[in-house]
Every structure is written in C-alpha cells, then in structure tokens.
A = this chain, B = another copy of it.
Amino acid sequence: MVEQADLMRDATVAQALRWIDAHTDQIVGEAIRICEIPAPTFEEAERAAYVRDRFVQLGLSDVTIDAAGNVRGRRPGAGGGSGLAIGAHLDTVFPKGTDVKVRRQGGRLAAPGIGDNSVAIASLLGMVGALNAGGVRTAGDLYLTCNTGEEGLGDLKGMKAFVADVKDRVTALVALEGMKINRIIHIAVGSRRYKVTFTARGGHSWGHFPSPSAIHIMGRAIAEISRLEVPTDPKTTYNIGVVRGGTTVNTIASEAEMLVDMRSVDIGSLADLERRVLAVIARTAREGDGQAKLELVGDRPAGRTAESAPIVQTALAVSKALGLPAGFGEGSTDSNIPMSLGIPAITVGGGGSATGGHSLSEAFDSTDSWKGTQRVLALAVALAR
C-alpha cells in the first residue's frame, strides 16, 4: 500500500485530486442536474442521453448507448496496463411523475434519487474531468458506464450486458453507489425472485363452498414458507413481499398471486432455500386442488471478492489515506454480476452521505463529498496499471 500512497503523490494525480477539491460545487451541481431528469428503471433513456453528451464533452472514446440502454465510453490508457471497469447506475426506484426537483439547503440536498444514484453518476463524470485536468494517463484503459436496470425488477440487466461485453478486457470492476460511503461492499448478496400465480376452481362463497380457493391455497403456502428454517451463516433470507388476490368478499377466489424474495450470500444456500420454497408451493397447490404458475422475476447471482484481493485492499488503503471510514460490507448491487463471474469487484460510495434511500424523503449531505470522487480517481489510477 506504500505503492498506493506513492501514486497519490504523483504530480499529475496530485493535480487531479486538487482539481476535485476545487470543483466540488461543480460536481454537486452535476448531481442536481442528473437528479432532475427522471429515470425510472426501464425508462432511463432521457437521463442516458444527457450522460452520453457529457461523455462526449469529456473526450471519451467509443461513446455510445448500447442495446441495454447503458451509456458507454472508454478512456484509453498509455498502453500495457490492466483494463478497469467503472460503473454507476442510471435508474431510480421512483415512477414517472414523481417530483424530482431538488430542494437545497446549504450542503443538504433533498430529492428522490439524489443520493441513489445521481451523486455517483456525477462522481464518475467528475473523476473523468479531474483526470483530464491533471493530464493523468492511466496504464490500462478505463471502461466507463452509466448503466440501466440496477433497481427493482431491472434485475441488473444493464450491468449484465456491460460485463458480458468487457469481461475479457478488464481485470476488475468498481461500482459506485451514492448511498454507501461507509462500506466497501465485497460480498454480493444473491437473490432469486418469483411471481407465483395460484389458480383454482373458485365459485360463489355460499353456493360452491368448499370449492378450491386460490387465496386459501396461497395462505397455506405462505404459512409453510414463513416457518422455513434458514442459516444465519451464510446469511440467507426469504420474504413474501406482495400479495394480491380475489375479486369480491363472496366469491371464492380463482386467482391469487404473490411475490417471493429469496437471498443469500452463498449460492448453495440460496439454491437450497429455493428448492424448499418451490416444493412448498407445488405441494400446497396440488393438495388444495389448484395450480401454481412460477415466473422468475429476479435473478441476482451471489458472489464474493476476497478481502485479500488487491481491489479490496487498495480501496481500504485509499479510503484510509483520504480519511474516509471504510468497513467491509455486503449488498445486492451491480457488482454482483462481475463477482459471480469471478471478476474482482467492489461497490463503494460516490461521495457524501445520503439518507432515506428509496423513499420520497431521500436527502444527500454533500459535506466532504469531494473525497468520494477522489477515492474513485485514486482507485482508477491504482487499478488500471
């Protein structure tokens, strides 16, 4: 890690780091502009068009919006170094029509999506601006993306497409999130999500009693699933997050559906849980004289980058050098995809700290947020060698 400290004292790098310090307001202003362009998952196009223009203005090569809707660009290295991928997701959990106007009070910015993930996108753009300003040449190429589909039912589709394309040209990937300044996420929580639709004969609640009910079957399935034992280590969880079914109080329901979330930091434990949950569903449907239809609506692979991996240790050293708190953490983020493919990856914060993620009361504190941008710049220089 002495090596890392040396890098940060390199003249061009030092100038780039100072540039960030001096341009915090510009980076924060960029985050505000980005936040105010709505970008619900699957509807990121308008925000993507803005970011593509910024990529072009910053002089990146091969700028494009790919088939998955990702904005892509490359900052060529001096040659001979390792390629590094850096990404920040474009999308938010907020539906079209949500008021995304940023309300500013000093260093505090309030708006849905300001932290998650406008700040991270702005940090990525700020890093490129700083590398340019300092005249920094990394050894390897930087493969940059502001990608789609990280939230909800996006199922990491943007990152899947991006990694499938760059996986042979990079040796590591850094994903930026605007909410998570305090942790280096190196464990990818995997998840499998299903929409389960139960159907049964149904009928009139009086005239056809006890005709099979889709709701009664679903209730039995939920009851059994809710009693399944799962390991705490490796941590494994389940949740039936949404249910809906039936038409009127006096109609025996012919249809009901539920959304099931299963997660684990361990692929095997997740697969085992999934097997048990699906068995309960199939059996309760059969015993209740109904049917269950499964639709896989989420599939995020589990994975892990070893704490000893250079990317993790470098992130730790850089964070320490910048005075940023940096414990280890786990999460379900874009870096699930490279980790699951054996590509060393981490997710780190883009700068500052945000609260109220995924809620309308989301807010971002920009105090020292320039340190987040400095961290990703230092990581880029250190890893693209």
Q: Which residues of A contact B (CB under 8 A)?
A: 152, 189, 191, 193, 205-206, 209-210, 213, 215-216, 218-226, 237-253, 256, 258-261, 263, 297-298, 332
Question: Known: A222-B218, A222-B219, A222-B222. Is A209-B245 also a contact (CB below 8 A)?
Answer: no
29 A-B pairs (CB sep. < 8 Å) = A152-B248, A193-B249, A205-B238, A205-B261, A206-B332, A209-B237, A213-B239, A215-B243, A216-B226, A218-B222, A219-B222, A222-B223, A223-B223, A223-B224, A239-B250, A239-B251, A239-B252, A240-B253, A241-B246, A241-B251, A241-B252, A241-B253, A242-B245, A242-B253, A243-B244, A243-B245, A243-B253, A244-B244, A249-B261
Q: Which residues of B contact A243 (CB under 8 A)?
A: 215, 218-219, 243-246, 253, 256
Q: Which residues of B contact A215 (CB under 8 A)?
A: 222, 240-243, 258
Question: Are A219 and B240 in contact, with the CB atoms below 8 A?
Answer: yes
Min CB–CB distance A360 → chain B (angstroms): 13
CA distance A253 to B241 in the complex (A): 6
Q: How many copies does the complex hold?
A: 2
Question: Are B247 and A242 in contact, with the CB atoms below 8 A?
Answer: yes
Partner of A298 from the list B191, B223, B249 (CB cut-off 8 Å) is B249
Q: Which residues of B contact A191 (CB under 8 A)?
A: 250
Partner of A210 from the list B223, B237, B256 (CB cut-off 8 Å) is B237
Partner of A213 from the list B224, B240, B259, B263 (CB cut-off 8 Å) is B240
Min CB–CB distance A297 → chain B (angstroms): 8
Q: Which residues of B contact A237 (CB under 8 A)?
A: 205-206, 209-210
